[in-house]
């Protein structure tokens, strides 16, 4: 069984992650083998590290964790807040996609949790501040599904301009309706990209290859790719574009950024595509713009409220306008599949599982979205009886002095610290440490007022 770390004023956090049957005594008795290379580190507290993966995260990620010796429970569906509060106390790590919400209430219930992995681009489904205050870094995969989303947008451009979904539906109903009225080539048209990040810039290159003129709007000045041109305002982009596609994060300032006034600014007969976040479009206002024929069509992949599992209804109980939106012509509705390709899910699984494993095994927080990014070069096989201290603490004066006083009897081989907001993180490797030394160090650091969570890796 793992031994919880006692943190004054906090709940007890078990930080045991060792997947092996070796003991701390075995690891401290390691002798030099003559080979120089990175050592595999384990938590000083023995025990079975348990990981909960939800929402059908790729089996490549599941297998990667199991190969590293972690106990993994894998579920196809999301969990509600109440379900999470019941289950999470038994786990040291959790992996989710976009439907599971990790709220402050869940964080308070997570008495053993030390890391969160979002197997997707966004992290708005996690209370990042509450996680950081509990000493829990959050990792995501900001790049891995960019190509999949960009390709989906390209397919939607063609499908909307050719009324493809309507013609296909009619033929499935036995109706032959060959027509060219209101159908267009996308070559020579103008694509307006709102948000020129990883997805927007990839889309820009693909669109130009199709012969589209590309404009983009972003809150920062960005060097364009190809012949794309940045415009000074959203209004300028809306007035010039035949297609408008959104690629922005969910923030207070992006909430309903496309509403009645913005739709009125768009060209008559233009199209809207949203594969970003469901809250950035005012759907009732979009419905009115489509009903009035001011917009010729739309493609929507994300919604303000989405079902928690496959097979659940997408109806007016979930979103009061659902049936009205579903009834409109030339509207493509997809169930949040922008990043749902085998390639994207495999790359996301590899990236996030690697980030979590690096943090658990080596303490590195590179890529964490809510945490200081700290890393140290690996402890080598030549460095016998060395341990790594991973100390999460409140960002306040005097902490380093206290920690360094605790470490002063030992040879500190390397040390690095950084802070982000109210949270600071220190990593230090110290040599020639005994088991009793580790116990004394733990007690000393745990007693410091700023301590949030401290792990010892050996």
Task: Sheet with 270-274: list strands edge to edge.
Answer: 229-230, 213-217, 190-194, 243-246, 270-274, 295-300, 331-333
Instruction: Provide the Cα torsion 29, 30, 33, 36; round to 10°.
Output: -140
- Residue written as token pair 């745990």: 446
CA distances from 436 to 265, 352, 361, 383, 432 (A): 71, 35, 22, 19, 12
DSSP 3-state of 458: coil
Tell me the chain's radius of gyration from C-alpha atoms. 26
Active-site residue 277, yes or no? yes
In a 10 Å sphere around its CB, with 0-12 CB exposed, 13-18 middle and 19+ buried, how is residue 434 labelled? exposed
Q: Per DSSP, which regions of 361-436 are E strands?
A: 387-394, 411-420, 423-431
Considering the candidates 39, 147, 198, 336, report the single residue annotated as catalytic: 336
Residues 180 and 454: their CA atoms lie apart, in Å, by 67
3-state helix, strand, coil in the chain (%, to 5): 30, 20, 45
Backbone angles phi, psi at 96, to 5 degrees: -135, 170
Measured distance between the N- and C-terminal CA atoms of the chain, rounded to whole angstroms: 18
Active-site residue 377, yes or no? no
Residues 436 and 447: their CA atoms lie apart, in Å, by 17
Active-site residue 306, yes or no? yes
Considering the candidates 27, 101, 277, 388, report the single residue annotated as catalytic: 277
- Residue written as token pair 């301009």: 161
Give the active site residues: 277, 306, 336
């Amino acid at each position: 069984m793992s031994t919880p770390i006692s943190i004054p004023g906090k709940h007890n956090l078990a930080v045991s992650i060792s997947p092996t049957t070796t003991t701390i005594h075995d690891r401290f008795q390691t002798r030099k083998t003559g080979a120089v290379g990175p050592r595999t580190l384990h938590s000083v507290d023995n025990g079975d590290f348990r990981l909960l993966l939800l929402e059908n995260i790729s089996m490549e990620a599941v297998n990667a964790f199991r190969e590293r010796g972690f106990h993994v429970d894998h579920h196809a569906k999301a969990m509600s807040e109440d379900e999470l509060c019941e289950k999470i106390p038994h786990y040291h790590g959790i992996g989710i996609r976009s439907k599971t919400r990790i709220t402050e209430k869940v964080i308070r219930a997570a008495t053993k949790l030390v890391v969160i992995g979002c197997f997707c681009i966004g992290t708005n489904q996690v209370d990042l501040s509450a996680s950081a205050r509990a000493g829990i870094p959050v990792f995501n995969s900001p790049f891995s599904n960019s190509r999949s989303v960009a390709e989906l947008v390209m397919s939607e451009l063609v499908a909307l301009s050719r009324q493809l979904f309507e013609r296909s539906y009619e033929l499935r109903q036995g109706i032959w309706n060959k027509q060219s009225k209101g159908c267009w080539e996308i070559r020579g048209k103008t694509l307006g990209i709102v948000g020129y990040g990883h997805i927007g810039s990839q889309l820009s290159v693909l669109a130009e290859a199709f012969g589209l003129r590309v404009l983009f709007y972003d809150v920062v000045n960005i060097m364009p790719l190809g012949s794309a041109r940045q415009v000074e305002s959203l209004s300028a982009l809306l007035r010039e574009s035949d297609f408008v596609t959104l690629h922005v994060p969910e923030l207070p300032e992006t909430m309903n950024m496309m509403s009645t006034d913005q739709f009125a600014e768009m060209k008559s007969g233009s199209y809207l595509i949203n594969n970003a976040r469901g809250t950035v479009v005012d759907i009732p206002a979009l419905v009115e713009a489509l009903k009035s024929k001011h917009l010729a069509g739309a493609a929507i992949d994300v919604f303000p409220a989405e079902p928690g599992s496959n097979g659940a209804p997408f109806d007016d109980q979930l979103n009061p306008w659902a049936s009205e939106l579903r009834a409109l012509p030339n509207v493509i509705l997809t169930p949040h599949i922008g990043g749902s390709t085998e390639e994207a899910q495999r790359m996301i699984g590899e990236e996030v599982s690697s980030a979590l494993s690096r943090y658990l095994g080596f303490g590195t927080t590179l890529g964490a979205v809510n945490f200081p990014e700290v890393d140290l070069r690996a402890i080598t096989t030549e460095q016998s009886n060395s341990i790594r201290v991973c100390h999460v603490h409140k960002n306040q004066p005097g902490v380093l002095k206290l920690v360094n006083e605790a470490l002063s009897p030992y040879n500190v081989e390397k040390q690095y610290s950084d802070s982000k907001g109210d949270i600071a993180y220190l990593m230090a490797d110290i040599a020639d440490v005994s088991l009793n030394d580790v116990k004394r160090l733990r007690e000393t650091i745990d007693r410091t007022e700023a301590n949030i969570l401290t792990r010892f890796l050996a």
